[in-house]
Chains A and B, each alone.
Chain A
Amino acid sequence: MKPSSSSARIWRITSIASIIATLLLIGGFVYAVNDVVNPVGSSYTAGDSAGSGDTGSQAAVDPATEGIRIAAMGDSLAKGTGDDEGSGFVRRTVNLLQQQGVDAKLVANLGINGQKTNQVLSSLEQSGVQHTLRQSNVIMLSIGANDLFNGGEALGNLDEQAPTAKQLLTNQPQAAARLQKILDRLAEINPDAQIIYLGLYNPFGDLKELRVPGNQAVSAWNMKATGLTNTNEHMMVIPTFDLFQNNLDQYLSADHFHPNGDGYEQIAQRIVQSIR
């Protein structure tokens, strides 16, 4: 059986190609096994390798030319939990601003359900969080409710016990100290940004035994927060206490803790009024 010339050519090409390919792949296989089985850790030094380094992490926005760039961080309120549309006050603020013809954009929403002050404080040391904050000129912060109300963070968990009046007050001093640290750190990371702190409301106003202690704890906290922000011209507190005081049935979502869409819309309107 003498192979035809085309067969001979096919054979020559495939055999050479496959031998090269096989050797290459065996090499890769040995390399991979060795690298996975005996990994040698080494710290990476950002060199000239990637073209991504450039100005990225430093460039802060210029408010004059860039319009409003919003970053949000904090707890479930920042995230928008309870809003059927999933927008929350952050997205709704952006939308309202855009409707008014303002060049507003959401850089990122870093709100995480159930976050407390200590978690936000430690997240501020992460480079990705810092970078995001530097990309914005308005930083919205909602934090403290989970520190104060302890159990409320268990989302949608209606069996969760409401906090006692005593708890409401005992958690406060440490949380306030951490709030101060958060605000200081924010101002350090992005000194030019407008920092908007969302004041607390009392979600337990319709529970008889918690109405008064809740009100006291929340307004004490809000006073504290106002005191902290007053010292910095770039900071302000957006009050929500009065908004919810007599409208809990209207503005709270089914979990009796988070605002619903209407509640968030009210908050967003207040922010828009203050922001400009």
Chain B
Amino acid sequence: MNSIWPLVQNETIKIIKKKRFYVILLVLLVLVPMFTYAQMRQAQENRTKFGDDWRTELQQAITDNQNSLGSDRVPEEWKKYRRIFIQQMQYYLQNDVNPNEPGGVTFTREFLDNSSSLFIPLLIMTIASDLVSGERTGGTIKMLLTRPVRRWKILLSKLITLTMFVSLIVVSTFIICYAISGLAFGYSGFTIPVFTGFQPSETGVDMATVHAVDQWQFILMQMGLIWFVGLTVGLLAFMVSVLVRSTAASIVIMMAALIAGTILTNMASSWSSAKYLFMVNLGLTNYLSGSPAPIEGMTLPFSLAVLGIWAAVSLVVSFVVFTKRDVLN
């Protein structure tokens, strides 16, 4: 019993046989077509208005945003977002690059952008929240612990399995999204240029570091960042699942935290110490696209550090509690 791999193998097979992973794939297979359809309708509507002329469409969008800048009724916070949006879009126009070149790849990029702070973490919770508490609910924990294996090894094997599935979930999200949206929008677009490196500053955006990358590179970067987010959320959910007896409770706790995060991101700009909470730091992909951080002073290294600390703490707590605690029921 020196090797950890048989344990990991065991855990992996449990997750697959318990159909947890299939549920995730099923959720994706149901939801992605819905988003694709919604996007298609919107594209059609825009086409009747602007024809195939994306430049005019973009210019109109810029003008609409400029109009709202002059209004006293628009909060300063939103104006900042819009100012940045305007500058970015003007940059795209200047360089004659369509920021929304229709295609499955662009759709996937946007989908990933929007799913990094809530949707993908939710999918990961499906697996992570169940890893330990599921054994309790099912009563199999005793069987697991009576085997001549040290407890930390059991936990470690679960952790490795979790990491494997976080990777699988992120990659399958991409694959399913691309495969389905490609049906509607076409499969091309990996080499379309995307601008990155916009540095939000006091007055708007600093353009000095802007550079173009191919869309596939951009998506690869997005996925890497989402993976890190997923891992952090996974570790937190894992800790909760160690601490709480029932799977339902552990899912509810994590879900509440995540949803609180999306609410806080929208309104916590004046409560600056909220930036140390993990749930407002989940939108890592925003740093790529250059949208401003929800709270002043947040940068990618900052968010990574915050997430890393939360992950490390939950890791320690999981191990300490799991190896010390008596299992009674």
Contacts and interface: CB of A to CB of B under 8 A. Distances in A.
B9 interface: yes
A44 B193 CA distance: 9
A36 interface: yes
Interface residues of A, number: 54
Contact of A109 (B58, B60, B170): B60
Contact of A41 (B13, B89, B210): B210
B245 interface: no
B165 to A, nearest CB: 7
A240 to B, nearest CB: 22
Contacts of B217: 31
Given A27-B224, A127-B93, A128-B89, 18 more contacts: A7-B17, A10-B16, A14-B16, A15-B8, A15-B164, A22-B167, A33-B304, A40-B197, A40-B211, A42-B212, A49-B192, A108-B60, A109-B60, A110-B60, A113-B67, A127-B94, A128-B62, A132-B55
Interface of A: 3, 7, 10-11, 14-15, 17-19, 21-22, 24-33, 35-37, 39-42, 44, 46, 49-50, 52-53, 56-57, 79, 107-114, 126-129, 131-132, 135, 155, 157
B252 to A, nearest CB: 28
A255 to B, nearest CB: 13
A135 B53 contact: yes
Nearest to A25: B227
A133 to B, nearest CB: 10
A11 B12 contact: yes
B220 A31 contact: yes
B238 interface: no
Contacts of A42: 211-212
Nearest to A119: B66
Chain B: interface size category: 35 or more
A25 B167 contact: yes
Nearest to B160: A18
B277 to A, nearest CB: 21
B248 to A, nearest CB: 26
A39 B197 contact: yes
B77 interface: no
B316 interface: no
Nearest to B227: A25
User: Most B CB atoms within 10 A — which of A17, A19, A32, A109?
Assistant: A32
Contacts of A7: 13, 17
B60 A31 contact: no
Nearest to A52: B98
B221 interface: yes
A110 B59 contact: yes
Interface string B289-306: 000000000001100100
A103 B52 CA distance: 18
Given A35-B197, A50-B98, A50-B193, A135 B56 contact: yes
Nearest to B223: A28
A44 B212 contact: yes
Given A11-B9, A57-B96, A128-B59, A113 B224 contact: no
B180 interface: no
Contacts of A46: 95-97
Interface string B192-224: 110111010000000111111110010011111
B42 interface: no
Interface string B33-65: 000000000000000001001111011101100
B90 interface: yes
B70 interface: yes
A14 B167 CA distance: 11
Contacts of B262: none
Contacts of A26: 224, 227
Nearest to B98: A52
Given A41-B208, A50-B97, A155-B70, A30 B224 contact: yes
B287 interface: yes
Contacts of A114: 70
Contacts of A21: 167-168, 170-171
B178 to A, nearest CB: 14
Contacts of B96: 46, 52-53, 56-57, 127
Nearest to B164: A18
5 contacts: A24-B171, A49-B214, A108-B63, A128-B62, A131-B55
B98 A39 contact: no
A10 B8 CA distance: 12
Interface string B232-267: 000000000000000000000000000000000000
Contacts of A3: 9, 13
A14 B12 contact: yes
B56 A126 contact: no
B110 interface: no
B225 A32 contact: yes
B197 to A, nearest CB: 4
User: Most A CB atoms within 10 A — which of B54, B63, B208, B301?
Assistant: B63
